[in-house]
Amino acid sequence: MTQLLVGTKKGLFVLEGEAGGPFAVTSRAFAGEPVEFATQDERSGRTFACVTSAFYGPKIFYTDDLAAEWQQATGVELPEDAEKPLERLWTIVPAEDDDHLYAGGAPGVLFESHDGGATWELNRAFWEQPTRPEWSPGAGGMCMHSIATWPGDPSRVALAISAVGVWLTDDGGKTWRHGNKGMYPRYMPEEAREETITLCVHNMHRAPKQPERLFMQFHGGVYRSDDAGESWTSIADGLPSDFGFPMVMDPDDPDSAYVIPLVADMDRTTPEGRVRVYETRDAGATWIERGDGLPSNDAYLTILRQAFCREGSGPDMGLYFGATSGDVFGSGDAGKSWFTAATNLPPVHSVRAA
Amino acid sequence: MPVVRLRAPLSELAGGKRELELDGSTVGEVLQALEREHPDVKGWILDERGSIREHINVFVNKENGQEDTAVAEHDRLHVIPAISGG
- So what's the ipTM on this one? 0.81
Residues A40-49: b if buried by 16+ CB within 10 A, e if exposed: bbeeeebbbb
DSSP H or E stretch at residue A258: strand A257-262
| Res. A247 pLDDT band, cuts 50 70 90 | very high
DSSP string covering A4-40: EEEEETTEEEEEEE-TTS--EEEEEESTTS-EEEEEE
DSSP H or E stretch at residue A154: strand A153-162
A125, A175 Cβ separation under 8 angstroms: yes
Q: Is B86 among the domain residues?
A: no
Interface contact flag, B56 A55, Cβ < 8 Å: yes
CA-based radius of gyration for chain B:
12
DSSP H or E stretch at residue A71: strand A71-72
Q: Is B45 among the domain residues?
A: yes
Q: Is A311 among the domain residues?
A: yes
Chain B nearest-CA distance from A81, in A, is 6
- Contacts with B39 (C-beta within 8 Å, 6 or more apart), sequence order: none
Q: Which residues of B touch A52 (CB under 8 A)?
A: none
Q: Quick one: pLDDT at residue B84?
A: 63
On whether any CB of chain A is under 8 Å from the CB of B84, the answer is yes
Which residue blocks in B1-86 are alpha helix, DSSP H?
A: 10-13, 27-37
The domain that holds A341 is classified in CATH as 2.130.10.10
Interface contact flag, B48 A78, Cβ < 8 Å: yes
The domain that holds B51 is classified in CATH as 3.10.20.30
Q: Is A326 among the domain residues?
A: yes
A 10 A CB-CB count for A61 gives 20
Q: Is B36 among the domain residues?
A: yes
On whether any CB of chain A is under 8 Å from the CB of B80, the answer is no
Interface contact flag, B47 A72, Cβ < 8 Å: no
On whether any CB of chain A is under 8 Å from the CB of B76, the answer is no
Classify residue A306 by its DSSP letter.
Answer: B
CB burial of residue B16 (10 Å; 0-12, 13-18, 19+): exposed
On whether any CB of chain B is under 8 Å from the CB of A56, the answer is yes
For chain A, the domain total comes to 1
On whether any CB of chain B is under 8 Å from the CB of A55, the answer is yes
Q: Is A19 among the domain residues?
A: no
Chain B nearest-CA distance from A78, in A, is 6
Gap between the Cα atoms of A14 and A251, Å rounded: 24
The arithmetic mean of pLDDT across residues A152-159, rounded, is: 97
pLDDT at A29 over 90: yes
Which tens digits make up the pLDDT trace of A249-277?
Answer: 999 999 999 999 999 999 999 999 999 99
The arithmetic mean of pLDDT across residues A138-161, rounded, is: 94
pLDDT at A215 over 70: yes
Q: Which residues of A touch B82 (CB under 8 A)?
A: 55
> Which candidate from A54, A78, A79 shows the least CB-CB separation from B85?
A54
Which tens digits make up the pLDDT trace of A70-90?
Answer: 999 999 999 999 999 999 999
For chain B, the domain total comes to 1
Please state, rounded to an integer, the average pLDDT across all residues of chain B: 94
Q: Which has the closest alpha carbon to A11: A348, A353, A354, A352?
A: A348
Gap between the Cα atoms of A346 and A304, Å rounded: 13
| Res. B86 pLDDT band, cuts 50 70 90 | low
Q: Quick one: pLDDT at residue A190?
A: 84
Gap between the Cα atoms of A188 and A200, Å rounded: 11
Q: Quick one: pLDDT at residue A137?
A: 86
Please state, rounded to an integer, the average pLDDT across all residues of chain A: 96
Interface contact flag, A57 B43, Cβ < 8 Å: yes
Gap between the Cα atoms of A309 and A250, Å rounded: 10
Q: Is A7 among the domain residues?
A: no
Q: Which residues of A touch B9 (CB under 8 A)?
A: 56
Q: Quick one: pLDDT at residue A130?
A: 96
Chain A nearest-CA distance from B16, in A, is 16
On whether any CB of chain B is under 8 Å from the CB of A133, the answer is no
DSSP string covering A97-142: STT-EEEEEETTEEEEESSSSSB-EE-HHHHT-TTGGG---BTTBS
A312, A318 Cβ separation under 8 angstroms: yes
Q: Is B69 among the domain residues?
A: yes
On whether any CB of chain B is under 8 Å from the CB of A54, the answer is yes
Interface contact flag, B55 A80, Cβ < 8 Å: no
**CA A74 centroid distance within chain:** 23
On whether any CB of chain B is under 8 Å from the CB of A78, the answer is yes
Which tens digits make up the pLDDT trace of B30-41?
Answer: 999 999 999 999
From the candidates A9, A51, A53, A56, which should be mutated to test the interface with B, based on the most B CB atoms within 10 A? A56
Q: Quick one: pLDDT at residue B82?
A: 83
Q: Which range (A62-76, A133-147, A172-186, A295-309) has the least confidence?
A: A133-147
Q: Name the percent of chain A lying above pLDDT 90.
A: 94
Classify residue B27 by its DSSP letter.
Answer: H
Q: Residue A252: what residue type?
A: D
pLDDT at A98 over 90: yes
Gap between the Cα atoms of A280 and A257, Å rounded: 5
Q: Is B33 among the domain residues?
A: yes
Query: Vertex A28, ends A25 and A34: CA angle to 5°?
Result: 120
CA-based radius of gyration for chain A:
19
A-B CB pairs within 8 A amount to: 42
Which tens digits make up the pLDDT trace of B56-85?
Answer: 999 999 999 999 999 999 999 999 988 765
Gap between the Cα atoms of A124 and A118, Å rounded: 19
Chain A nearest-CA distance from B40, in A, is 9
Domain range for residue B7? 3-81
Q: Is A235 among the domain residues?
A: yes
Gap between the Cα atoms of A270 and B49, Å rounded: 41
| Res. A156 pLDDT band, cuts 50 70 90 | very high
Q: Is B72 among the domain residues?
A: yes
Q: Is A43 among the domain residues?
A: no
Q: Is A226 among the domain residues?
A: yes
Q: Residue A309: what residue type?
A: C
Domain range for residue A150? 88-353
DSSP H or E stretch at residue A221: strand A221-225
Q: Is A170 among the domain residues?
A: yes
On whether any CB of chain A is under 8 Å from the CB of B43, the answer is yes
User: Checking phi first, is residue A14 left (phi over 0); if not, alpha (psi -120 to 50) or beta?
Assistant: beta
